[in-house]
Chains A and B, each alone.
Chain A
């Protein structure tokens, strides 16, 4: 991609940002989208008069996101490495990660607040937000070593550690770098959300306070600071990704399938992991004498589910519509945008900063904007789902579109293939493995997104049900909503993974 010239590298992104800023000023000054969006000048004013506050908050949040995010990332790489070391552990590790990831952090917040974990909630949220996509992406990456190299290593009797160090890890590096990029906005949002559960300083605290006090300038200044931090971290991660892709050529090798389990083992595992988690939960409540107001017992949650079966079913249906609709629309937007910018490089340069801004802005800041545009209701939830789902798909699709077999570009160039031909015959087919991973990650996450959007502004669905039960401290009821959500998330992941196996089997032959 010819983006290395000075103009392509700096001018176009700067132009993209400038267009956005001018648009912002016009919309804000004319109150075109309601009064919640202040003109840029007001935000700059707030940055000027409250610069010290924003600076301290940015440092606090940035530090939490960095520490928590790196810890979550490191743990993710470690878990993924375990799967490469012991291939038979892949299925259990991935499934556990999916299950843990499916638990909405808003449900965990009050529990963490009552424990000694309280000072570290932002870090924990940042780490949790990063963990899952890291495990998935890196574990996939570690399975992309080419079979011929694998054969070579085993013929020479290489030890496991040698194989891991010299073959698996290098071939996984591009995916590790991808995971790092996805982690940036996730860690920052996680830290900000965590700050709402009780921190005395940070961008999340400034936002929640400013929103209630009608300090729009300050609110947007904090959001802007979050974006700047995200862009800086993201630029660093992108630099690493470029370096990794260039040094260790991003192969087109699809990840080898997860070590197959026998049918019986498979079913056993599907049952054993949830049962083990429920047992741990029950033991924790008994041993720790955890009061019902902090966390309920599994039996009570089960009772709530049975008694109110119909409301939960209705809520689940509504949430499923938002989640899957958001996923599909987000995938269309994400892939479409990735294809567009890979064909039109100047557009890539111009849009790349903007694509990052959207997932970085906390959803609460978006609510008034979407609400002002679409009104408050399910359409707002749906729009948030699309906004949040499109980003990981866009990032991974773009990486996938850039991956190709070594020398393939030259072959196409020699034959005088045009841009579109290159896209259809080379880039799109080579991007399939990464795209499938993107859909799998997003499938597991789309329910979480729908639930947090419903929690904040939904008129129905599991998130709203959760919020209604939670606020009257009916923990049996609110956790029941969480359990249904977890089950749906896991189901979505399992279905996406099965679809992925089918597609990649066909694609490889």
Chain B
């Protein structure tokens, strides 16, 4: 044992050191080489837009608007910020980390306003929220009564939404909450009876993988709300109204293209904007096609994509929020600005 590691030590050590430095250098260089792929032709007014998820096809229209030059034609230089942490987008916008962005959920937007955040919603990506419930093919949910007593898998935002669903229907929450995260596998493995999902997302992927499922949105169960609110700060809107209007106008054009030619939009997502995610084109196309009916309605046909309907907000949507235990709701005209979409569609 003695002397097995002898005089050759120092040199070995030097070699290892050299190895460490080499690996480090390679990584740094390689990282630099692959950096800076983001869009933006420069020149225009810089706008950071906070997405509420990673860059997949649910944002296809925004990327179309960027790629087709609708933003730059309007004098805008838009940067898209990823939003893997869904719950933080309102804070990022209120804190000045992005000028405009998406707040996924209407109830969370109300929460944000309650903290005193100076926010205003100027549009809604989804006329009807894609949040809903996914079940195996042998279970069909047609009313909230069908959910009573079930074990439902949720992610961070699911618990509050499902409780609201029960409250809106005048019931005490009667379901067992199992926090399983973003993966619906426990449903197919029989560990849960139902799964909280975006009906445009997980069910589509599972269907393509040969696992059909039943889906129902919360709106179908009596809990109406917008999804994907387009939000900015009141301060920014007041001093940059033109910018916000041009942004919404250009985005409307981008989404029109995406709805018109979903295949091309998916190509753009999977090969360019979301190229670093390894997305499956078939699933992205399925998501986009499932999303369009939720984005469009008679109201948007008449008033333009993203249009907000004050009567709908004041009526069933505020009713749902009140039923969930909210005591004071803001004036619709102070929380929502319908004028931006109107101006964008002139």
- Which residues of A from 202 to 220 have beta carbons under 8 Å from B? 202, 204-206, 208-215, 218
Whether the Cβ atoms of A209 and B28 lie closer than 8 Å is: no
Whether the Cβ atoms of A209 and B277 lie closer than 8 Å is: yes
Residue from B91, B111, B160, B178 with most neighbouring chain A CB atoms (10 Å) = B91
Residue from B5, B117, B184 within 8 A of A292 (CB atoms):
B117
Task: From known contacts A205-B277, A473-B112, infer whether A114 and B97 are also in contact, taking CB-CB under 8 Å.
Answer: yes
* Chain B, residue nearest A468 (CB): B159
Residue from A46, A213, A458, A459 with most neighbouring chain B CB atoms (10 Å) = A213
Whether the Cβ atoms of A214 and B202 lie closer than 8 Å is: yes
Whether the Cβ atoms of B28 and A53 lie closer than 8 Å is: no
Residue from A59, A205, A364, A459 within 8 A of B31 (CB atoms):
A59
A-chain residues with CB within 8 Å of residue B157 when the two chains form the complex: 471
Q: In the assembled complex, how far is the CB of residue B169 from the closest CB belonging to chain A, in whole angstroms?
A: 20
Q: How many residues of A contact B (CB 8 A)?
A: 81
Q: In the assembled complex, how far is the CB of residue A80 from the closest CB belonging to chain B, in whole angstroms?
A: 21
Asked whether any CB of chain A lies closer than 8 Å to the CB of B148, the reply is: no
Residue from B13, B27, B34 within 8 A of A247 (CB atoms):
B13
Bound complex: CA A67 to CA B24 (Å): 9
Residue from A57, A118, A371 with most neighbouring chain B CB atoms (10 Å) = A371
Whether the Cβ atoms of A243 and B9 lie closer than 8 Å is: yes
Residue from B107, B183, B191 within 8 A of A211 (CB atoms):
B183
Asked whether any CB of chain B lies closer than 8 Å to the CB of A232, the reply is: yes
Scan A14-52; emit 1 where CB is below 8 A from any B CB, else 0.
000000000000000000001110000000001000100
Task: From known contacts A114-B92, A210-B278, A211-B183, infer whether A243 and B16 are also in contact, taking CB-CB under 8 Å.
Answer: yes
Whether the Cβ atoms of B85 and A293 lie closer than 8 Å is: no
- Which residues of A from 186 to 209 have beta carbons under 8 Å from B? 195-202, 204-206, 208-209
Whether the Cβ atoms of A214 and B184 lie closer than 8 Å is: yes
Asked whether any CB of chain A lies closer than 8 Å to the CB of B121, the reply is: no
Whether the Cβ atoms of B279 and A209 lie closer than 8 Å is: yes
Whether the Cβ atoms of A208 and B182 lie closer than 8 Å is: yes
Residue from B4, B19, B111 within 8 A of A236 (CB atoms):
B19
Scan A268-311; emit 1 where CB is below 8 A from any B CB, else 0.
00000000000000000000001111100000000000000000
Asked whether any CB of chain B lies closer than 8 Å to the CB of A341, the reply is: no
Residue from B12, B34, B209 within 8 A of A214 (CB atoms):
B209
Residue from B13, B81, B95, B279 within 8 A of A243 (CB atoms):
B13
Other CB < 8 Å A-B pairs besides A110-B91, A372-B189, 7 of them?
Answer: A114-B88, A114-B97, A199-B82, A233-B23, A247-B13, A368-B186, A372-B186
B-chain residues with CB within 8 Å of residue A118 when the two chains form the complex: 81, 97
Residue from B92, B115, B277 within 8 A of A473 (CB atoms):
B115
Residue from B4, B27, B276 within 8 A of A200 (CB atoms):
B276
Q: In the assembled complex, how far is the CB of residue A372 from the closest CB belonging to chain B, in whole angstroms?
A: 7
Residue from A208, A239, A291, A467 within 8 A of B94 (CB atoms):
A291
Whether the Cβ atoms of B54 and A457 lie closer than 8 Å is: no
Q: In the assembled complex, how far is the CB of residue B95 from the closest CB belonging to chain A, in whole angstroms?
A: 3
* Chain A, residue nearest B287 (CB): A213
A-chain residues with CB within 8 Å of residue B181 when the two chains form the complex: 211, 364, 367, 456-457
Bound complex: CA A258 to CA B111 (Å): 48
Bound complex: CA A239 to CA B177 (Å): 48
Bound complex: CA A113 to CA B91 (Å): 8
**Chief secondary structure at chain A's binding surface:** helix
Bound complex: CA A180 to CA B55 (Å): 35
Bound complex: CA A232 to CA B23 (Å): 9
Whether the Cβ atoms of A292 and B116 lie closer than 8 Å is: yes
Asked whether any CB of chain B lies closer than 8 Å to the CB of A440, the reply is: no
Q: In the assembled complex, how far is the CB of residue B197 from the closest CB belonging to chain A, in whole angstroms?
A: 9
A-chain residues with CB within 8 Å of residue B4 when the two chains form the complex: 4
Asked whether any CB of chain A lies closer than 8 Å to the CB of B156, the reply is: yes
Scan B180-207; emit 1 where CB is below 8 A from any A CB, else 0.
1111111011010000000001100110
Scan A300-339; emit 1 where CB is below 8 A from any B CB, else 0.
0000000000000000000000000000000000000000
Whether the Cβ atoms of B85 and A113 lie closer than 8 Å is: yes
Asked whether any CB of chain B lies closer than 8 Å to the CB of A265, the reply is: no
- Which residues of A from 451 to 475 have beta carbons under 8 Å from B? 456-459, 464, 467-468, 470-475
Whether the Cβ atoms of B118 and A291 lie closer than 8 Å is: yes
A-chain residues with CB within 8 Å of residue B311 when the two chains form the complex: none
Q: In the assembled complex, how far is the CB of residue B232 from the closest CB belonging to chain A, in whole angstroms?
A: 14
Bound complex: CA A324 to CA B160 (Å): 30
Q: In the assembled complex, how far is the CB of residue B17 from the closest CB belonging to chain A, in whole angstroms?
A: 8
Whether the Cβ atoms of A294 and B180 lie closer than 8 Å is: no
A-chain residues with CB within 8 Å of residue B83 when the two chains form the complex: 198
Task: From known contacts A218-B278, A376-B191, A457-B181, infer whether A293 and B5 are also in contact, taking CB-CB under 8 Å.
Answer: no
Whether the Cβ atoms of A472 and B111 lie closer than 8 Å is: yes
Bound complex: CA A344 to CA B128 (Å): 63
B-chain residues with CB within 8 Å of residue A53 when the two chains form the complex: 275-278
Asked whether any CB of chain B lies closer than 8 Å to the CB of A60, the reply is: yes
Asked whether any CB of chain B lies closer than 8 Å to the CB of A413, the reply is: yes
Task: From known contacts A214-B205, A292-B115, infer whether A464 and B278 are also in contact, taking CB-CB under 8 Å.
Answer: no
A-chain residues with CB within 8 Å of residue B28 when the two chains form the complex: 63, 66-67
A-chain residues with CB within 8 Å of residue B188 when the two chains form the complex: 35
Whether the Cβ atoms of B276 and A56 lie closer than 8 Å is: yes
* Chain A, residue nearest B88 (CB): A110
Asked whether any CB of chain B lies closer than 8 Å to the CB of A62, the reply is: yes
Task: From known contacts A293-B115, A371-B191, infer whether A457 and B179 are also in contact, taking CB-CB under 8 Å.
Answer: yes
